[in-house]
């Protein structure tokens, strides 16, 4: 039986992409959610110009979370932390699995996600793209091989509308590299530079965030040694890479019970 999926943030760029991917991948679009007050509420996907396919074009966008989740297998959410946590509470009540691609959570938000995973299956990852998750593994391998002799800097670039910095993907790259080097990222992370900074700290991992135009998402980990430089880079050219990864995560959860997973689990890279 085809997986019945609910998409949150249906009228947004990522939501539209997810809806198109759901129908293309042979899953069933069970419902389309959007924020209260959105002009999309009450409209059919076809009216909004979303390429949902013939069967899903009639789906009406709603802000009734409880109704949207009723009978669904999985919610896929790429919205904002406050909205995600509200959806998550409803998913727990109705025992609906959830794929979370939202970033920018504080400690309390992350704790709420962990708590929900004791009742339902959750895939929570800063980036759902297959190539990006391969990059996490490559960065880990490079850090282990190169070691402390190489300075680490992480550069990320996104569109001008992104509201958090550094990106969740950049932070995950930092965590992966720090763990591989035996460092505590919370103690060695730095963000940009200004003024007379002095000599670079050997153990620091420095983040640089660029924002502009319509950049989908670029990430580079620079390992700078004496005499050579190693760079691990991934450039996302379409949001569809995130959408296809999220659907792969949803399919993964269909074969799991409760628990907290990430894309490394989904792809078997642990």
Q: What angle do CA 45, 47, 51 make, to 5 degrees?
A: 50
Point out the catalytic residue in the list 13, 162, 203, 258. 162
Q: Which residues pair with 215 in a beta bridge?
A: none
Can 162 be counted among the known catalytic residues? yes
Can 58 be counted among the known catalytic residues? no
Cα–Cα distance list, 148 to 188, 189, 202 (Å): 13, 15, 8
Are 246 and 128 in contact by the 8 Å Cβ rule? The answer is yes
Which three-class secondary structure state does DSSP give residue 22? Answer: helix
Helices (H) and strands (E) counted in the chain, each on its own, are 10, 12
Task: Note if the bond before 166 is cis, omega within 30 degrees.
Answer: yes
Q: Which pair of structure tokens corresponds to residue 264?
A: 């490394």
Q: Which of 52, 87, 51 is nearest to 67 (CA)?
A: 87
Point out the catalytic residue in the list 30, 158, 208, 219. 158
Cβ within 8 Å of residue 64, ≥6 positions away: none
**φ/ψ (deg, to 5) at 230:** -110, 130
Lookup result for tokens 């009540």: 93
Residue 198 Ramachandran class (φ > 0 left, ψ -120 to 50 alpha, else beta): left
Lookup result for tokens 């730095």: 190
Catalytic residue ranges: 158, 162
């Amino acid at each position: 039986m085809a997986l019945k999926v609910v998409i949150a943030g249906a009228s947004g760029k990522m939501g539209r992409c997810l809806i198109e991917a759901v129908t293309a991948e042979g899953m069933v679009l069970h419902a389309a959610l959007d924020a209260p007050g959105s002009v999309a509420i009450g409209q059919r996907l076809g009216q909004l110009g979303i390429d949902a396919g013939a069967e899903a074009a009639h789906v009406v966008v709603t802000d009734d979370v409880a109704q949207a989740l009723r009978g669904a297998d999985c919610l896929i959410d790429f919205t904002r932390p406050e909205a995600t946590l509200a959806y998550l509470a409803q998913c727990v009540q109705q025992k609906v699995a959830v794929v979370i691609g939202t970033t920018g959570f504080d400690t309390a938000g992350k704790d709420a996600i962990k708590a929900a995973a004791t009742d339902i299956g959750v895939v929570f990852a800063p980036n759902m793209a297959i190539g990006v998750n391969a990059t996490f593994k490559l960065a880990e391998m490079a850090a282990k091989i190169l070691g402390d002799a190489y300075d680490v800097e992480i550069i990320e670039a996104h569109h001008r509308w992104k509201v958090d910095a550094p990106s969740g993907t950049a932070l995950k790259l930092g965590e992966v590299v720090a763990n591989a080097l035996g460092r505590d990222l919370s103690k060695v992370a730095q963000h940009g530079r200004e003024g007379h900074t002095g000599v670079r700290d050997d153990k620091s991992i420095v983040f640089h965030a660029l924002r502009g135009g319509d950049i989908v998402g670029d990430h580079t980990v620079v390992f700078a040694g004496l005499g050579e430089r190693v760079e691990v880079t991934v450039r996302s050219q379409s949001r569809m890479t995130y959408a296809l990864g999220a659907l792969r995560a949803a399919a993964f959860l269909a074969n799991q019970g409760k628990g907290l997973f990430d894309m490394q689990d989904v792809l078997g890279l642990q």
